[in-house]
Amino acid sequence: MIVAKTVEEVRKAHPAGKRIGFVPTMGFLHEGHLSLIDVARASGADFIIVSIFVNPRQFGPNEDFERYPRDETKDLALLESRNVDLLFFPAVDVMYPPGSQTTVQVGGVAKPLEGERRPGHFDGVATVVLKLFDIVQPDIAVFGRKDAQQCAVIERMVRDLDVPVRLVFGETVREADGLAMSSRNSYLSPDQRALAPVLQRALRAGERELASRNVEWVESAMRDVAKGVDVDYLVLVDPETFEPPSDFERDLLLAGAVRIGKTRLIDNIRVPQRR
């Protein structure tokens, strides 16, 4: 596996005549990340590039940038085991050289939920993803559906700016008890970890209430299950706009964010349109 730390090293290693699959990550890798590498290959990529970059621009002033979990040695071993061809592992001043001023601002879908609670977060996400696309120049880029609103923001950006990349979204990988795999799960104490699957149970309770065709009933059912934790939001939304659905004759998304101790967990269930 090639390890590149500069833009020039990535471009020099770029293979001619191969289909590039790209998986951007913030490291501290787990099976969820590795599954996206498999998705890239299954989607036709024959040269896999993974990036590891903890992007400071998507963290708010009171968030966990400094303590975000990192384990370079483990990450390298996991990528080697998955036969990744190139790892792009830039420093902050490579991605944002001194004097950098240009950012990407996504409207609409970036405004509700995570966008409202984490001002500037999606601008930071869109900016770094567009930069990574320009550096890596992938044919295929793979993102995980656990971050559903992030997927929608990137999809909107790619469409609006005519970015020549095919986006593929990998399904959420879960622990045996239903908890969505996340690097931030490492923050949880044993007692907190035992409580964490309540988020998925709450979303499933909302899914069972969809037959009511009543948004308030669905959201109330989710809140009832999650009474033991600090709920940020538990909502039913349109997965294209992240606003409340205008009707039930469309794809729907049950989305939630809760805090357990100091750890904020997100998850979602996508429900395809019922034919």
Q: How many CB atoms lie within 10 A of CB 235?
A: 20
Taking the C-alpha atoms of residue 255 and residue 268, their distance in angstroms, rounded to an integer, is 4
Phi-psi region of 261 (alpha: psi -120 to 50; beta: other; left: phi over 0): left
Q: How far apart are the first and last CA of the chain?
A: 46
Q: 54: which residues sit within 8 A by CB, 6+ positions away?
A: 26, 27, 65, 68, 70
The closest alpha carbon to 123, from 150, 96, 158, belongs to 150
Helices (H) and strands (E) in the chain, counts: 10, 9
Whole-angstrom CA distances from 117 to 113, 264, 270 are 6, 12, 21
Which tokens in the block code for residue 67? Answer: 């303590």
Which residues belong to the active site? 33
CB distance 130 to 153 below 8 Å: no
Look at the alpha carbons of 88, 94, 96, 102 in this order and tell me if their dihedral is positive or negative. negative
CB distance 236 to 245 below 8 Å: yes
Taking the C-alpha atoms of residue 107 and residue 153, their distance in angstroms, rounded to an integer, is 9
Which tokens in the block code for residue 221? Answer: 């059912």
